[in-house]
């Protein structure tokens, strides 16, 4: 919601009028707080504006009181209204505090759903910073969201694997949950989230592989040669529910320079729905975007969300630091998932992170069953993942 800055206003006053923490207002506006021009639009996070038609007997004072707001909140949104002369039938703008999830993430979550939900979140919570870290083979943006102002940066990502798109839906729901909790001061599982905003910067790439996700959900792309190739690599079938790779048939989680040769030796030699590691590490733009982000991100730890198996992989070649075990035990405690130190698998994103930074990296396998996991599991998966998402901030 936007208001127009009036003579004598301050962002601190807005924080009190709307009961929104000042840091969230500051971070929602690229403004010098002590030098704001009269008439400048200022974002107030966590509110939307609704219309109201004045009835006989209405007063601003009473309309404000019914909504738990000071009269000044209504004056700010209705600068041309004369308070003691409300005309019956005239329209007022009424600020409405958002106390519900503004995006519905329980749906087939393709790249268009992601973009439209991120637009909505950016509108209501402008303190969430958004940029694109790269583009897919088909030119679709790969967005990264950042939330918080802490010195420690925690990174999480989803949908490295196309048919694991439910991980994107889970991450975006968490983003909405976190923002909602920050603005309103409502705890999540008894945790006040506001201290995390100051202590941690959360980096999130909810959909690493948009082309693959769209292939699984929407079917063949229009673009050649990919339309014909993908059909061939899928054995002529238009059912892509078993597809994990990107649109070039490369498994993005086999693309990282962490014993890549060993992974290549045990995997398919040709493009296909899964496990083909490419002709070398980091040949695919989606993997390159993630590598560049990670190299510049100084991440304290990374969480890569996958499905399935209800397991958490936390080691790589004994290169992981001792705190990885402490953290994974907490993740297991709050989710009921099983920690697994190592399996015969290389060249994954978390493998590379552990190898090159010697910091904690995790592959978290949500849910059970055949991918794509059905939306009927969404509620349970979110509840179990939520414990891990919260722990990633406080550990």
Q: Which residue is nearest to Zn ion (CB)?
A: 306
Cβ nearer to Zn ion, comparing 305 with 382? 305
Strand partners, 70: none
Two tokens at 97? 């505090």
Please report, for residues 112, 227, 327, 358, 369, the alpha-carbon distance to residue 376 in angstroms, rounded to integers and kept in the order given: 22, 31, 29, 37, 12
Among 346, 349, 378, 382, the active-site one is 346
Instruction: Show Cβ contacts of residue 65 under 8 Å, excluding neighbours closer than 6 positions.
Output: none
Cβ nearer to Zn ion, comparing 110 with 254? 254
- Closest distance between Zn ion and the C-beta of residue 161, in Å? 4
Two tokens at 82? 């004369």
Q: Is the dihedral of CA 369, 373, 377, 381 positive or negative?
A: positive
Cβ nearer to Zn ion, comparing 331 with 349? 349
Cβ nearer to Zn ion, comparing 155 with 161? 161
The rounded Cα 352 to chain-centroid distance in angstroms is 22
State the CB neighbour count (10 A cutoff) for residue 271: 19
Measured CA to CA, the distance from residue 286 to residue 208 in angstroms comes to: 6
- Closest distance between Zn ion and the C-beta of residue 67, in Å? 46
Interface mask toward Zn ion for 143-162; x: CB under 5 A: ------------------x-
Single out the residue of 264, 232, 265, 261 nearest to residue 248, CA to CA: 232
- Closest distance between Zn ion and the C-beta of residue 162, in Å? 9
Total chain residues near Zn ion (CB under 5 A) = 3
Segment 11 to 50, residues that bind Zn ion, using CB under 5 A: none
- Closest distance between Zn ion and the C-beta of residue 244, in Å? 6
Segment 163 to 222, residues that bind Zn ion, using CB under 5 A: 164
Query: Is 346 annotated in the active site?
Result: yes
Segment 255 to 314, residues that bind Zn ion, using CB under 5 A: 306
Query: Is 380 annotated in the active site?
Result: no
CB 147 within 8 A of CB 179: yes
- Closest distance between Zn ion and the C-beta of residue 12, in Å? 47
Q: Crossing angle for the helix pair 285-297 and 349-357, nearest 10 degrees? A: 30
Single out the residue of 355, 317, 171, 161 nearest to residue 254, CA to CA: 161
Cβ nearer to Zn ion, comparing 224 with 344? 344
- Closest distance between Zn ion and the C-beta of residue 379, in Å? 21
Two tokens at 125? 């919570």
CB-based burial label for 215 (10 Å; 0-12, 13-18, 19+):
buried
Among 284, 365, 378, 382, the active-site one is 365
Cβ nearer to Zn ion, comparing 201 with 253? 253
- Closest distance between Zn ion and the C-beta of residue 156, in Å? 14
Two tokens at 142? 């790969």
Single out the residue of 167, 335, 178 nearest to residue 244, CA to CA: 167
Which string of DSSP letters, residue by residue, matches 185-243?
T--BTTB--HHHHHHEEEEEES-S-HHHHHHHHH-S-S-TTHHHHHHHHTTT-S--TT-
Contact flag: residue 248 with Zn ion (CB under 5 A): no
Cβ nearer to Zn ion, comparing 164 with 351? 164
Strand partners, 299: 153
- The residue ranges that bind Zn ion (CB under 5 A) are 161, 164, 306
Q: Which residues are catalytic?
A: 346, 365
């Amino acid at each position: 919601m936007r208001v127009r800055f009036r003579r004598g206003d301050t962002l601190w006053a807005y924080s009190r009028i709307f009961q929104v923490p000042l840091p969230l207002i500051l971070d929602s506006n690229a403004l010098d707080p002590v030098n704001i021009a009269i008439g400048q639009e200022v974002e107030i996070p966590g509110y939307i504006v609704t219309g109201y038609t004045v009835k006989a007997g209405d007063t601003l004072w009473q309309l404000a009181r019914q909504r738990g707001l000071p009269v000044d909140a209504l004056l700010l949104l209705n600068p041309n209204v004369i308070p003691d002369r409300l005309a019956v039938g005239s329209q007022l703008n009424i600020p409405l505090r958002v106390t519900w999830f503004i995006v519905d993430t329980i749906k087939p979550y393709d790249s268009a759903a992601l973009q439209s939900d991120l637009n909505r979140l950016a509108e209501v919570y402008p303190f969430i910073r958004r940029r694109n870290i790269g583009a897919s083979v088909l030119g679709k943006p790969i967005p990264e969201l950042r939330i918080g102002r802490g010195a420690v940066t925690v990174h999480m990502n989803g949908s490295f694997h196309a048919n694991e798109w439910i991980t994107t839906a889970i991450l975006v729901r968490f983003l909405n949950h976190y923002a909602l909790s920050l603005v309103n001061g409502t705890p999540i599982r008894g945790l006040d989230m506001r201290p995390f905003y100051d202590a941690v910067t959360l980096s999130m790439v909810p959909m690493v592989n948009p082309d693959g996700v769209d292939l699984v959900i929407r079917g063949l792309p229009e673009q050649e040669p990919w339309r014909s190739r993908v059909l061939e690599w899928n054995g002529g079938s238009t059912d892509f529910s078993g597809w994990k790779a990107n649109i070039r048939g490369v498994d993005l989680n086999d693309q990282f320079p962490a014993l890549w040769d060993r992974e290549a030796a045990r995997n398919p030699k040709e493009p296909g729905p899964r496990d083909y590691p490419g002709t070398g590490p980091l040949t695919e733009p989606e993997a390159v975007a993630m590598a560049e982000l990670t190299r510049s991100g100084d991440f304290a730890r990374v969480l890569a969300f996958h499905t399935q198996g209800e397991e958490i992989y936390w080691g790589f070649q004994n290169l992981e630091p001792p705190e990885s075990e402490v953290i994974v035990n907490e993740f297991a405690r709050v989710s009921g998932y099983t920690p697994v130190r190592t399996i015969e698998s290389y060249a994954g994103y978390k493998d590379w992170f552990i190898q090159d930074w010697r910091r904690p990296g995790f592959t978290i396998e949500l849910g059970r069953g055949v991918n794509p996991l059905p939306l009927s599991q969404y509620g349970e998966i979110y509840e179990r993942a939520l414990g891990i998402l919260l722990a990633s901030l406080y550990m």
